[in-house]
Amino acid sequence: MQKVVDASALLAYLNKESGWEKMEELLATASEKDRPLLMSAVNWGEVYYIILRHLGDYNQAGDIERSVQTLPIEIIGVDREMAKEAATLKVNYKLAYADAFAAALAKSRKAELVTCDKEFKAVEGAVKINWIS
């Protein structure tokens, strides 16, 4: 089954926080099978924002961005239909805006959403969740 990564899962991996080992396994499997994990461009933007806010240095954030580009993660752009689905999920499940894009991508691809963000408990009936912590 295809997997969609949200910001919390990628940040857990990058920061070696709870769940990072499971993310490492998912990344290794994605690489071995030549089937990248998916991530919404909105969620990638959230990751970059958090890194930049934490580091306060564009050069260091750029180094991390280049490192992430080597991972088997495909960044998926947002179109009108994806934005509409995210808006619907936000309204129906009270998700944070960026989180709604991760759920919308998972739902549209009939994929599993990889996360450690407990906010996604609200959409467990609509989207399959792979809890990494």
Predicted confidence at residue 107, as pLDDT, reads 97
Structure-token match 């991508």, residue found: 105
Predicted confidence at residue 122, as pLDDT, reads 96
**pLDDT means per 10 residues in the chain (133 residues)?**
97 96 98 97 95 85 91 98 97 96 98 98 96 97
Predicted confidence at residue 90, as pLDDT, reads 97
| CATH number for the domain running over 3-131 | 3.40.50.1010
Predicted confidence at residue 56, as pLDDT, reads 84
Q: CA–CA distance from 62 to each of 25, 37, 55, 106 (Å)?
A: 25, 21, 11, 27
- Enumerate the domain spans of the chain: 3-131
Residues 6+ apart with CB under 8 A from 119: 95, 96, 99
pTM score, two decimals? 0.94
